[in-house]
Amino acid sequence: MQPLETIYGQFTVVADALTEATAMLPSRCAGWSITDVLYHQLMDARRALVTFATPADREPDTDSVSYWWPFAPAGGDPAVGGAERAALRARYARHVRIVASAYPVGSLAASWRETAAAALRAARACPHPVVATQGHALRTEDFIATLSFEAAIHYLDITVAFPAAEPADPAALALVRHVLDGLAGSPLPADWDDAACALKGTGRLPVSAADAAALGPLAVRLPLIA
């Protein structure tokens, strides 16, 4: 719970400080403004509320690492081709842009604040050892880890224009590194700090020639998640 509580709290601090002008600044998430990312996170917190109240009727079929395989550029359901996945992503991005733009920034921040707080309460009180979401069954602690992973990445996205923002929670970034190492099948370079690991492993920072040499054959697989 600690990484999720901390990174959600950090997200709230930034959201509450946004103005109509700063909310429209570009984020690190390609094509999305800070408002878009905040709305996307609001949707994730809403999904968390549903998930914590949805016990799975079967054993876990994924964990905090394998959950992300379908989101890898080369991953996903083999029945769904790359073009179809791209179309699904484009439709989702359009939805986010339209709905996020309809919120006054203060209203969006308030919705995030109260929903995130409710999701944290639901996580702490969840009585179910295994929960269901997006067609998967996960141990509750693994689901919490997926929420922390996503929030940490998107916190890095929304703070790109705010150098005075508090650095992302170290425990949350360590969890991101653990997941990316798992997706890679081997540890990412030790000389990358956890923030650099998160940004380079997800394609938000370019991989230099020196990085590629250190990565070896793994270099062609980055980004590990998109």
Contact 8, 151 (CB under 8 A): yes
**% of the chain beyond a pLDDT of 70:** 96
Q: Cα dist. 198→28, 77, 100, 177 in Å?
A: 12, 24, 25, 6
* Whole-number pLDDT of residue 107: 97
The span from the CA of 16 to the CA of 209, in Å, is 39
Render pLDDT for 128-174 as a digit per residue (tens, 0 to 9): 999 999 999 999 999 999 999 999 999 999 999 999 999 999 999 99
Render pLDDT for 55-73 as a digit per residue (tens, 0 to 9): 999 999 999 999 999 887 7
pTM of the model: 0.93
Render pLDDT for 18-28 as a digit per residue (tens, 0 to 9): 999 999 999 99
Q: What are the boundaries of each domain within the chain? A: 2-221
Band (pLDDT 50/70/90 cuts) for residue 16 is: very high
Per-residue burial over 29-66, b = 16 or more CB atoms within 10 Å of its CB, e = otherwise: beebbbbbbbbbbbebbeebeebbeeebeeebebbbbb
Mean pLDDT of the chain: 93
Q: Which CATH class is domain 2-221?
A: mainly alpha
* Whole-number pLDDT of residue 96: 87
Highest mean pLDDT among 55-69, 94-108, 205-219: 55-69
Q: Which of 78-82, 97-101, 102-106 has the lowest mean pLDDT?
A: 78-82
Q: Can you say whether the dihedral through the CA atoms of 3, 145, 203, 85 is positive or negative? A: negative
Omega of the bond prior to 3 within 30 degrees of 0, cis?
Answer: no
> Degrees (nearest 5) of the Cα angle 46, 50, 56?
145
The span from the CA of 97 to the CA of 165, in Å, is 24
